[in-house]
Amino acid sequence: MAEVAFPKKIAFWFYSLVFLAGVLFYLIWGFTYGSWNLLRPEWVGAYAVTIVLVGFGIVGMLLYKD
Tens of each residue's pLDDT in the chain, 66 residues? 667 677 889 999 999 999 999 999 999 988 998 877 767 888 888 889 999 999 999 999 999 987
The domain segmentation of the chain, as residue ranges, is 8-63
> Can you say how many angstroms the Cα of residue 45 is from the centroid of all Cα atoms in its chain?
15
15-51 residues labelled b (16+ CB within 10 A) or e (exposed):
beebbebbeebbeebeeeeeeeeeeeeebeebbeebe
Q: Select from 20, 6, 7, 16 the least CA-distant residue to 59.
A: 16
How far is it, in rounded angstroms, from Cα 12 to Cα 1? 26
pTM of the model as a whole = 0.84
